[in-house]
Amino acid sequence: MKYSKEYRFLIGAMAKVRWVVENGRQHRPDGAHDVYTLMARLRDYCDSDPNIDYESQLDCVSNFVNLSTTELYYLGDVGEWIQLDRDTEKFSDSEYEEFWEDASNRPSMSVYYHFMPQSCSSDDREEIESLNALYYGSV
């Protein structure tokens, strides 16, 4: 039986992240970057076949690597920022500004990371505004 390259890449990333988690290294920069790679591989695998359900695959990956889906999202976000930092660390100031002006270089968090299942309620907004006023002062 021949498996797709996306599936093989996903399985490899899952094995690596499971090892990272078993050794307590998921909160280190390289560990978070490995989770980002896993999430990208999962997205690529799900995009390769319209019959693959992302949510069920995410749940399977979560169980295999022993991280909750929230932890996967969070560490994936952190890992993406680490990758962006690595990509831009040798840029001059003008190259750095040009990089961020291009919308295609912005983080892809909205593509496969979703922390909030619903929008903020008015109570949430009021609490956020009052905390901001306490911290930053009234505007």
pLDDT > 90? residue 122: no
Average pLDDT estimate for 24-29: 93
Vertex 69, ends 66 and 71: CA angle to 5°? 75
> Looking at the predicted structure, is the pLDDT value of residue 110 above 50?
no
pLDDT, tens digit (0-9, with 9 covering 90-100), for 72-95: 998 998 898 898 888 888 989 899
Residue 119 has, within 13 A of its CA and on its CB side, a CA count of: 2
Domain boundaries in the chain? 5-113
Q: At what angle do helices 29-48 and 54-65 cross, to 10 degrees?
A: 150
CA atoms within 13 A of residue 103's CA, in its CB half-sphere: 0
pLDDT band at 116 (very low <50, low <70, confident <90, very high): very low
User: In the predicted model, is pLDDT for residue 113 greater than 90?
Assistant: no
C-alpha to C-alpha distance for 62 and 74, rounded to whole angstroms = 13
Q: What integer pLDDT is reported at residue 112 of this predicted model? A: 46
- Please indicate, yes or no, whether the overall pTM of this predicted structure exceeds 0.85: no
